[in-house]
Structure 1
Amino acid sequence: MKIIDSKNLHRWKAISLVEEQLDLPNGKRIAHTTILHPGASVILPITDDGRIVLINQFRPSLKKWLLELPAGTIEQPETPEQCAMRELEEETGYRAARFTSLGQVTPLAGFCDEIQHLFVGHDLTLSNGRECDEDEVIEVVTFSLAELEQKIVEGEITDTKTIACLSKAKLCGLI
């Protein structure tokens, strides 16, 4: 693939909307619009007694509350793990003594280049560092794995990063 031309249509915070003229591997030239995103970290925090910490967050784009794992956008020059550490404490008030990487997922590959880095947070302790962003309305909740799986089955949890991270952790034998 070859980029022929690129035009920035809009920028908001660290996210850009870009239109590109591309030559595809099959030889066709197309115009394609992409959201450029710096990436994010998703954290599956597990307490010593095996409960999983989630957030119930009001999402203005959907105009409703979502049960989801804590997550956030990587801020330069952070690594994905540094972002995970920061976001976990900001959104939940917990710190993890160690993180296990579960790799990456690509949630919106049809129109966005975001990569989400998945982590399990172990050995949690409460801190005084909970400090949500201005546009975040968050409640911290905990559930057992069985309760979370039932909420997924019943459609109460629809957030893809949460479902992907839980699935990957379970497949890897970490929960």
Structure 2
Amino acid sequence: MNYKLLKSEIKYHGKVFDHQVDEIQYDSGNIGIREVAVHPGGAVIIPIKEDGKIILVKQFRYPLQKTLIELPAGKLDKNEDPLKCAIRELEEETGYKAKHFEKLGAIYTAPGYCTEILHIYKATGMIPGNHNREEGEQGMELIEFSLDEIKQRILSGEINDAKTIAGIFYLIND
């Protein structure tokens, strides 16, 4: 590190993340400002059915004003174990429960300005049930693709969600 922290302040406490502003001083004496989105992290689930199909969700993403195809995922509650989050989010978004979860890895989503870490899990032994979606997820649709179909959709640009691409990479190399 070539700096020291002079001041750190949470400027805004949000529902999804907090906005932190840090004043730093480089070894050169120059002063800099760093803005950080302080995020609790989340869990991403790769739900694989007995026939090998992978369950994805199609949902509208407000910041982009677009509908994306993604792996199910959700935000950790404060101090929540990522596996507990994965179990909850799988059922909440898809209605499925899984007999087995295996952690494949974790990714930093935007390390230049955000503390979010997403924990990626493979889920097998799928048991269908009823979803319990939040209000903003009511229009969410479930879709199922084979691994090859997902890879083709990633390469064509139809699937361009980073957590989904990373999750599929982990799965291919599991």
Query: Does the alignment reach a TM-score above 0.5?
Result: yes
Name the structure 2 match of 1:39: 41
Give yes or no for the alignment of 1:169 onto 2:171.
yes
1:117-172 Cα offsets, whole Å, 9 max, x none, are 000001000122x1111112310110001110110111000000000010011112
Runs of 4+ displaced beyond 6 Å:
none
Sort the Cα spacing of 1:17 and 1:163 in 2 relative to 1 into closer, same or farther, 3 A: same
Match of 2:77 among 75, 89, 100: 75
Q: SS at the partner of 2:135?
A: coil
Identify the residue that residue 150 of structure 1 maps to in structure 2: 152
User: What is the aligned partner in structure 1 of residue 127 from structure 2?
Assistant: 125
Residue 17 of structure 1 aligns with an amino acid whose one-letter code is H
Q: Which amino acid aligns with 1:127?
A: G
The answer for the alignment partner of 2:136 in structure 1 is 135
Whole-angstrom distance in 2 between the partners of 1:142 and 1:25:
53
Which secondary structure state, in structure 1, belongs to the residue aligned with residue 93 of structure 2? helix
- Structure-2 change in CA distance of 1:5 and 1:148 (3 Å): same
Shift of 1:94: 0.5
Cα distance between partner residues in 1 of 2:173 and 2:78? 31
> Which secondary structure does the structure 2 equivalent of 1:131 belong to?
coil
- Which residues of 2 match residues 13-92 of structure 1 at below 5 A? 13-23=15-25, 29-92=31-94
- Give TM-score scaled by structure 1 length: 0.92
Paired positions, count: 171
C-alpha distance in structure 2 between counterparts of 1:95 and 1:26, whole Å: 55
1:76 aligned partner, one-letter code: K
* Aligned CA distance change for structure 1 residues 69 and 22 (closer, same or farther; 3 Å): same
Q: Following TM superposition, by how much is the alpha carbon of 1:3 offset from its aligned partner in structure 2, in angstroms?
A: 2.7
Q: When the two structures are superposed, what TM-score results if normalisation uses the length of structure 2?
A: 0.92
Distance in 2, Cα, partners of 1:153 & 1:78: 34
What does residue 114 of structure 1 align with?
Answer: 116
Paired residue secondary structure (2:112): coil
Could you say if the C-alpha distance between residues 42 and 28 of structure 1 is closer, same or farther in structure 2, counting changes exceeding 3 Å? farther
Query: Can you give the 5+ residue segments of structure 1 that lack an aligned partner in the other structure?
Result: none
What is the identity, as a one-letter code, of the residue corresponding to 2:128?
Answer: L
Percent of aligned pairs sharing the same letter: 39
Tell me which residue corresponds to 2:96.
94
CA distance in structure 2 between the aligned counterparts of 1:150 and 1:38, rounded to whole angstroms:
32
Q: Distance in 2 between matches of 1:119 and 1:71?
A: 10
